[in-house]
């Protein structure tokens, strides 16, 4: 049944004893405030199923000037009252109670579930982005030049925005600041992509190709920097979508096309440059004192060429599409008696 015309249905079901080990269900990580929202939904579920309006449900509003470190006082029975206690335990004011309708109560809980679901969907693409998931030490081994500091700074920020997504989403001012920073990270990532693509071109087309071993090593280093920048660009775009909660279909479709087109252009450049490198290796001649291990060098070039072969969509683009459209799919949740929330996954 579509409860209260809000676009969802709520049903009771038997307790699933082995829910934590059962395939097809993913337990979502909740912040303390989200647990409170979900717990309220669970406690009120019988009322939702029986009536269209909550009876005696209220929202608490704190007066202006009260510090966020203050909290509602708990009575001896453990239930919260309206007196507000400061850090020293003294009463500093009283909160007001405002009657809340069913729609507000339900939507608060489902908003919390949408946020933690978003964290799960983001974790799926994040696990696919091998370059940005490397340790700082590993990344510093191949980063070089003037772009090193700015790329590391933006990478650290996007990691932070991903890690604390569920928490930041609960604070509008911090959320808006994060979106602004993600937009800046996109621009930095694109500048770095253009820099490394240009460097890849100039390196493979340089006049000095006598040392193909050094040439191969340099091009692989540039390719790793380029992949890191591309993954940062994709993740920053996705994080902006998730933080803004912009589900406009025209926006999502246009963004998807822009990113896929741009990433595709980068991947074709990588493929072209490493195809040229392969040709240089094949045509290279042994030196007087040094023999070239062509088999090893060709294997390295072929590994890159195989990953960016024309006619097949790379894992980066596949992961992007899945993450962009994951929130469009119908979601089914199981809420356990201990307020655990499980998302049903395919």
| Residue 261 binned pLDDT confidence (cut-offs 50, 70, 90) | very high
Which of these, 150, 149, 174, 148, lies nearest to 161 by C-alpha position?
A: 174
Q: How many other CB atoms are there within 10 angstroms of residue 36's CB atom?
A: 14
**What are the residue boundaries of the structural domains of the chain, listed by start?**
67-99, 129-312
Q: Residues 23-67: pLDDT tens digits? A: 766 666 666 656 555 555 555 555 555 444 444 445 566 666 665
Q: Which two tokens stand for residue 274?
A: 């490493």
In the predicted model, is pLDDT for residue 5 greater than 70?
no
Q: Residues 196-255: pLDDT tens digits? A: 999 999 999 987 767 888 899 999 999 988 988 998 999 899 889 989 988 888 999 999
pTM for this model (two decimals): 0.68
Q: Give the Cα separation of 80 and 72 in Å (integer).
A: 6
pLDDT above 90 covers a percentage of the chain that reads: 26
Helices vs strands, H then E, count in the chain: 10, 8
Looking up tokens 């003037």 gives 146
Q: Is residue 192 within 8 Å of 227, Cβ to Cβ?
A: no
Q: Edge-to-edge strand order for the sheet containing 71-74?
A: 71-74, 80-85, 91-94
Q: Give the Cα separation of 208 and 228 in Å (integer).
A: 27
């Amino acid at each position: 049944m579509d409860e209260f015309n809000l676009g969802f249905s709520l049903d009771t079901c038997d307790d699933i004893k082995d829910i934590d080990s059962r395939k097809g269900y993913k337990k979502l990580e909740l912040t303390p405030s989200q647990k409170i929202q979900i717990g309220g939904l669970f406690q009120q579920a019988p009322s939702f199923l029986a009536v269209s309006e909550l009876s005696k449900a209220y929202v608490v509003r704190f007066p202006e000037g009260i510090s966020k470190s203050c909290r509602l006082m708990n009575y001896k029975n453990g239930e919260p009252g309206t007196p507000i206690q400061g850090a020293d335990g003294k009463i500093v004011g009283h909160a007001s109670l405002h009657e809340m309708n069913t729609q507000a109560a339900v939507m608060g809980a489902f908003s919390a579930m949408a946020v933690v679901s978003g964290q799960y969907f983001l974790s799926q693409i994040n696990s696919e982005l091998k370059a940005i998931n490397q340790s700082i030490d590993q990344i510093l081994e191949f980063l070089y030049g003037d772009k090193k500091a700015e790329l590391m700074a933006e990478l650290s920020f996007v990691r932070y925005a991903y890690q604390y997504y569920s928490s930041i989403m609960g604070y509008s001012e911090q959320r808006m600041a994060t979106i602004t920073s993600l937009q800046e990270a996109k621009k930095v990532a694109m500048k770095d992509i253009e820099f490394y693509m240009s460097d890849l071109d100039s390196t493979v087309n340089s006049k000095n190709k006598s040392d193909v071993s050094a040439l191969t090593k340099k091009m692989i280093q540039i390719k790793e920097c380029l992949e890191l920048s591309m993954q940062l660009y994709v993740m920053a775009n996705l994080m902006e979508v998730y933080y803004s909660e912009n589900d406009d279909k025209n926006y999502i479709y246009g963004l998807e096309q822009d990113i896929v087109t741009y990433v595709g252009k980068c991947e074709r450049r990588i493929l072209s440059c490493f195809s040229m490198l392969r040709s240089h290796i094949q045509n290279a001649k042994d030196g007087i004192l040094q023999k070239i291990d062509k088999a090893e060098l060709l294997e390295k070039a072929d590994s890159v060429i195989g990953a960016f072969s024309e006619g097949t969509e790379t894992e980066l683009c596949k992961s992007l599409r899945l993450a962009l459209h994951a929130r469009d799919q119908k979601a089914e949740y199981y809420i356990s008696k201990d307020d655990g929330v499980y998302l049903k996954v395919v």
